[in-house]
Amino acid sequence: MLGLDVVDAKNNVIKSASVKEDIFDTKIKEYLVHDVVVMQLANRRRGTSSAKGRSEVNMTGAKPWRQKGMGRARAGTSRSPLWRGGGVIFGPAPRDFSYKVPKKVKKAALRSALTDKVRNHCLKIVDKLEIEEPKTRLVASLLKDLDIKGKAVFIISGENRNLELAIRNLPYAKTLSVEGLNVYDLLYYDTVVVTEESLSKIEERLL
């Protein structure tokens, strides 16, 4: 077991939390982290780019002029890609870029990302994440009290309506459920803020 400090809302250390080394102090496998991030970004692609080929262009199919005797190059259709307004050669078509990696790969990548946060002192465990009202200034004050600089993601377990509403106006902060924990967000945000309850649920998910 690995011991990590637990702080209160004023960033004072109040106790120590024991976490599993298999998750928070494991070997970092960068190649798996890379594979999962590439998959996540590919799954976000809309794949809606489209261009019309020569068979799809809405133009007459008649031959523009007779084959011989015109003193001009032969032409069979005005839909030709060589003509203005004609079809596009090898143009993009709607497609699905998404794919999946094995569950074991996802879990291993998450363990690597969490281990990296712990080793770089970027994982902050708070005894509770509660604000009285859904006010953005309260979250900004909380981040200041916790001495968090840069971008931060709050990992919550269950519903925390006030925090979720209050954080929406902050471009550098985000809430994420334990079920929605992912490698890209762990890498994108500088600091990960969790509660002890969230930690136990993360361990349940990754074991």
Q: Average pLDDT in the 9-20 region?
A: 89
Helices (H) and strands (E) in the chain, counts: 7, 6
Q: What is the pLDDT of residue 129?
A: 87
CATH number belonging to the domain at 2-45+98-206, selected among 3.40.1370.10, 3.40.190.10, 3.40.50.10860, 3.90.25.10: 3.40.1370.10
What tokens does 22 get? Answer: 């298999």
- Give start-end residues of each CATH 3.40.1370.10 domain in the chain: 2-45+98-206
Q: Strands 152-156, 191-195: parallel, antiparallel or unpaired by DSSP?
A: parallel
Q: What is the pLDDT of residue 130?
A: 87
The pTM is what? 0.85
Q: What is the pLDDT of residue 119?
A: 94
Q: Could you report the per-residue pLDDT of 72-127, keeping only the tens digit for each?
A: 999 999 999 999 999 999 999 999 999 999 999 999 999 999 999 999 999 999 99
Whether the per-residue pLDDT at 183 is higher than 90: the answer is yes
